[in-house]
Structure 1
Amino acid sequence: MVTIGKGLTMHIVHWVLAVLLAVFYGYAGGKKVVQSREQLLPMMGWVDRTPMTVVRVIGVLELAGAAGLILPPLTGIAPWLATAAAAGLSLIQIGGITVHLSRGEAKVIGLNIALLAASVALIWL
């Protein structure tokens, strides 16, 4: 059996979380940037009362966050930006939880909580 050190394990966990979050936010952000309100409504009911400009800005922020999780540590250029990206994505999820709760949609915040936990874990790692 091969043993690996704690540092290497944390490094692997960091990359797995970062890649998973980047894929999720790349997909979700891309949809918000390019799709119409009607196309988004079945998956994101909150867009019914949100100006599309705000939806698009959230999408751009999610895309920037996805890139920020991967590119700085991968290139070694300003790797602290990955922590900033994770913090920004955490704020997006806090906002999402707030919106769902204000709409009486407490049953649907599970994904938001999981994404928030993953982004906070990245900040910690």
Structure 2
Amino acid sequence: MTVEQKTSKAMNISLWILQTLLAVTFIWAGFMKIFQPIDLPFPWIRDNANLALITGGLDLLAGIGITLPALLRIKPQLTIYAAYGTMVLMVAASIFHISRGEAKDIGFNIFIIVLAAFIAWGRQKKAPLTAKD
């Protein structure tokens, strides 16, 4: 096994770990926003119940899209698109929080943007997946 193959294998494993972590995070957040009482767990939901439902649905789609196409090897490029969509969602969430005077709360959003960017880059350049024939 060459150094390049070892690096590629390590990158692939790292990407799978990050994809799984993001998927679990987004699926959890989606379920929380859709199925929890209005006063929990996010205080902004009281004022924006419909927005919570929309973003909860987007969170579920992000969680599924970041892993399922790659896992099934059916149109695995959709994982890359899901990573880009996740980045857009987190930018929108950051703008929303800043507009509410909650700029101190966007650190997590920025962290997710960085992870999603790494996944998009990694799946495009370093450890691309091919579709199953």
TM-score, length basis structure 1: 0.88
Is 1:45 aligned to residue 43 of structure 2? Answer: yes
Q: What is the Cα deviation at residue 6 of structure 1?
A: 1.5
* 1:33 matched residue in structure 2: 34
Partner of 1:99: 96
Number of residues of Structure 1 aligned to a counterpart in Structure 2: 119
Letter in 2 for 1:55: A
Q: Say whether residues 1:120 and 2:117 are aligned partners.
A: yes
Partner of 2:105: 108
Instruction: Specify the SS of the correspondent of 2:66.
Output: helix
Which string of whole-angstrom CA distances, capped at 9 and with x for unpartnered residues, describes residues 44-101 of structure 1?
Answer: 2222332x22211111111111111111111110101111111111111101110111
TM-score, normalised by the number of residues in structure 2: 0.83
Q: Which runs of 5+ in 1 are unaligned?
A: none
Q: Percent identity?
A: 32
1:18 maps to amino acid:
Q
Deviation of the 1:110 alpha carbon: 1.0
Aligned equivalents of 2:58 and 2:9: distance in 1? 30
Q: CA RMSD in A?
A: 1.4
CA distance in 2, matches of 1:55, 1:103: 15
Please say which of residues 20-29 and 103-112 is displaced more in the overlay.
103-112
Unaligned ranges ≥5, structure 2:
123-133
Aligned to 1:54: 51
